[in-house]
Amino acid sequence: MRTPVHLAVLSLCCLALAVTAQVRPNPKSTARYGDPDFVGQRISFACRGCTLPDIIQGILVKAGVRSEFPDAQQWQRVADTVVVQNEPWNYVLDTVLARYQLQATWSDLGRLVISRRMLPVATGPGKFGQLLFGLPPLPANVANLNTASRAVEAERFFKEGIGHFLLANPDDARIALIRFAWATRIFDEIEYGGREASALYMLGAAFLDLGQTAKAREAFQRARDVGQNTGNQRIVLLAENQAAYVDLLEGRQPQEARQAATAGFSHVQHVTAHTNLSGRPLLDRKLDAMLATAAGRIFFRLGDIEAAHQAFKLGFAEYLTLEEGARGVIENAVWLEQTARQLGRRAEAEQALETVRALQQAVRASRLYIAYLSWTGVVYADVGDLKKAVELQRAALDALRELPDRTLETGVQWNLARMQTALRNYAEARRSYEAVLQLNRDTDSFWRQQVQEVLAQLP
C-alpha cells in the first residue's frame, strides 16, 4: 500500500518538540523508548517505496536498537515512503507505527518487539447489540451443525450475499443483508476473525444501500476493529473510508476523511501496479474496486475533483475486469461523467455515459435492465442530481410494467420514495412508500417495518 506519507512533514509537526530537544539526551539517563521523557538520538533516513518491515528495521538500525518483528511477513506488501532529516528516531518510529496501528514494546531480552496494536472488541452473546436486531435468526438446520460444517455454510452465505449485493437493487440488498448477518454470526462463533471483518463490512454496505446509515456506520466501525485485530488491512481501509463517507453524507466533516481516502486510493494504486490479476484472489479484486470508488466519493465530497476523477478511473478499470462488475462500472461511470464535466473533459464525460448506455442496452427488456436503470438513478441521487435520479426511477417503473415479473417493483418504489423525500416532495414520497406497503401487505414484514418507520417521520 503506497501511502504518500512523506515524513519530512514531521519537521512541521515536531517543530515545537524540536525546539525543546536541542539539548542532547543525557547518556547516563535511564529513560528509554516508551518513557514519557525519552528523546532519541537524531537520525536522517530516506526510504522511498519500501516495504513497511524494511522501513521499521531501517529506523531501528539507525537508532542502534535491536528489534524483533514476528509478523513482518504479513506486512511485506505494505509500502510507504519515509524521508526525514535530523529528527529524533522515536518520533519517526511513533509516526510510522501509529499510521499502521502497530506498537513497540520491550521484551525481557531487551529487544524492541513490533506487534499489532489490539483494539477492544466486544465479546459474548450480546456483542452485536442492536446491529442484527430484527433480522432473521440463523436457520436451525445450520445452527445445529458441527463447527466445520457451519464454516462451510458461512462461506456459502457470504458468497450468496456478495452475489445479491452486486445485483444493485434494494430487493436483493435486503437478501444480501440477511446472508451477511448469518455469515457474521457464524464467523464470530467459530472465531474466524478475518472473514468476520469482511462479512461485517459487507453488512454495512448492504445497510447503506437500504438507507440505514446508523447501522451502516456501526457495522463499518466493527469491521474496522475486527479487521485491525486480525491484520485484514484491506477491510480496515474500506471500513474507514465508508464510515467517513457516512459522516460526510450526514453533514459532518471528519478530519480523518481525507487521510482515509488517500490511504485507500494509494493502496489500490499499489496493488494494481505491483500485482497482476491472477495474483489477487477474486474477493480481493472486488474489495479493491470498492475501495477505489469509496475513496473517490470522499474526494468528491471534499471538493478535490481531480483526485476524485483519478480514483473513479481506477475503480472503473478494476470493475471492468470483473464478470459481475456491472454495478461498479455504472457507479464509477456516472461519477466519472460528473468529475469529467467539472474538469472540462467533455469527451471523457460522454465516453463514461456511453458505457452506462451500453450496459443497459445489453440487457434490455430483462430484470437486469430494470435493476441497472434504477441503480443508475441511485448513483445520480448520490452525486446530487435528484431530478435525473427520479426520472430514471420512473423509467424503471415504466419498463417494469412491460414485464410479467414484477418482483423489483418494491425496490424501485423504495428508491423513488427516498428521492422524492430528499426533494421534499412529501406527497409523492408518501404515495411511493404506500405502494411498497401494498406490495408487501401479506408477505414481507421487513419492508412493512421500514416503511412504517419512515412514514412516522414524514412531515
Task: Identify whether the C-beta of residue 309 lies closer than 8 Å to the C-beta of residue 333.
Answer: no
Total Cβ atoms within 10 A of residue 310? 18
Q: Which pLDDT does position 114 carry in this prediction?
A: 92
pLDDT per residue as tens digits for the range 244-295: 999 998 888 777 899 899 989 998 998 888 766 556 788 899 999 999 999 9
pLDDT-derived band at 180, boundaries 50, 70, 90: very high
| Weakest mean pLDDT among 26-40, 207-221, 420-434 | 26-40
**338 close to 383: Cβ distance less than 8 angstroms:** yes
Q: Residues 116, 39: contact at Cβ < 8 Å?
A: no
pLDDT attached to residue 120: 65
Say how far apart CA 367 and CA 412 lie, in whole Å: 12
Q: Is the distance from CB of 444 to CB of 407 less than 8 angstroms?
A: no
Which 3 state secondary structure label does DSSP give 203? helix
User: For position 109, what pLDDT does the model report?
Assistant: 86
Query: What is the chain's mean pLDDT, rounded?
Result: 87
- 8-state DSSP, 105: E
pLDDT at 59: 94
- Give the number of other Cβ atoms within 10 Å of residue 17's Cβ: 13
Mean pLDDT of 315-327: 92
The pLDDT value recorded for residue 8 is 41
The answer regarding whether domain 363-459 maps to CATH 3.40.50.10490 reads no
**433 and 417 Cβ atoms separated by less than 8 Å:** yes
- Tell me, which fold does domain 7-116 have in CATH? Phage tail protein beta-alpha-beta fold (3.55.50)
Rounded Cα gap, residues 269 and 105, in angstroms: 32
User: Which has more pLDDT, 343 or 11?
Assistant: 343
CA-to-CA distance for 220 and 291, rounded, in angstroms?
A: 13
Residues 6+ apart with CB under 8 A from 59: 43, 45, 82, 89, 92, 93, 96
What does the pLDDT average to over 80-103? Answer: 89
Higher pLDDT, 391 or 125: 391
Which helix (H) or strand (E) covers residue 364, if one does?
none
Give the per-residue pLDDT at 13: 40
Instruction: Say what the alpha-carbon torsion angle 166, 172, 177, 178 is, to the nearest 10 degrees.
Output: -130
Q: Which runs of consecutive H residues, i.e. helices, occur in 166-255?
A: 170-189, 193-209, 213-230, 233-249
pLDDT given at position 278: 57
Q: Are 430 and 458 in contact (CB under 8 A)?
A: yes
What amino acid is encoded at 177 in this protein?
A: L
Q: What is the pLDDT of residue 413?
A: 95
CA pair distance 192, 185, nearest whole angstrom: 10
What pLDDT digit, counting tens, does each position of 146-176 carry? 999 999 999 999 999 999 999 999 999 999 9
The answer to whether the beta carbons of residues 137 and 90 sit under 8 Å apart is: no
Cell of 360: 443497459
User: Sorting pLDDT into bands at 50, 70 and 90, what band is 361?
Assistant: confident
Handedness of CA 373, 374, 379, 385 (dihedral sign): positive
Query: Would you place residue 19 in the very low, low, confident or very high pLDDT band (cuts 50, 70, 90)?
Result: very low
Neighbours of 293 (CB within 10 A): 23
The vertex-175 CA angle with 174 and 177, nearest 5°, equals 65
Q: CA 233 to CA 166: how far, in whole Å?
A: 23
Query: What percent of the chain is predicted at pLDDT more than 90?
Result: 64
pLDDT tens per residue, range 334-359: 999 999 999 999 999 999 999 999 98
- Residue type (1 letter), 305: I
Which part of the chain is CATH 3.55.50.10? 7-116
Residues of the chain with CATH 1.25.40.10: 363-459
Q: Is the pLDDT of residue 74 over 80?
A: no
Say how many CA atoms lie within 13 Å of 238 toward its Cβ.
30
**Own/partner pairs for 28-36, CB < 8 Å, 24+ apart?**
32/106, 33/65, 33/90, 33/93, 33/104, 33/106, 33/112, 34/104, 34/105, 34/106
Is there a contact between 291 and 242 (Cβ–Cβ < 8 Å)?
Answer: no
Q: Which of residues 391 and 25 earns the better pLDDT score?
A: 391
